[in-house]
Amino acid sequence: MSATATATSFDRPVVRRRRWLRWLAWFGIAVFVLFVFYLAIAVPWMNRWGATDAEVAAQLPGDELVPVASAITNRAVTVNATPEQLYPWIVQLGVDRGGMYSVLFVENLMGLHVTNADTIHPEWQNLAVGDFVRFTPKEYALNPGPGLWVREMDAPNTL
């Protein structure tokens, strides 16, 4: 073996290691940039998705229940219906009731076994203060799981 061949064989692992470290550094930078983008642009956009500046600034029913909130999220959808027409649909919200009116494929992919109602059901119109609206079934791994406690009702304006 010549001295040149020996030096080249020793350099090859060093070159591979440098390439690997360079790739790892670029990957780390890309992850950091994506994380900063997510925090600076995506999260603020998601936390006020569909809501106007006036809606975000408005005092909404229930705001007084949590005067100092650790997180504030305002999402809005324009529905061409009166509160009287919409309220029965909102009252039957929940996986063990009328469903979540969301993306059914995603909900069932998560094992929630949700079916969304396509009509108003009288048996689900009896929601009351103190009731728990389930986001997951009772037998789900996270029992009682995520959901909402009904603290205030003023039909057809507030739930």
Tens digits of per-residue pLDDT, 94-130? 988 999 888 888 888 887 888 899 999 999 999 999 9
Q: Left, alpha or beta for 134 (phi > 0: left; psi -120 to 50: alpha)?
A: beta
The answer to whether the pTM exceeds 0.85 is no
42-47 long-range contacts (CB < 8 A, ≥24 apart) are 47/71, 47/72, 47/73, 47/74, 47/75
Question: Once rounded to an integer, what is the mean pLDDT over residues 21-35?
Answer: 96
For residue 147, give the DSSP letter. Answer: E
Per-residue exposure over 16-35, b if at least 16 CB sit within 10 Å of its own CB, e if not? eeeeeeeeeeeeeeeeeeee
In angstroms, the Cα distances linking 45 to 41, 50, 113 are: 6, 9, 30
pLDDT tens per residue, range 145-157:
788 899 989 899 8
By residue count, the chain amounts to 159
Residues 59-76: pLDDT tens digits?
988 888 888 888 888 989
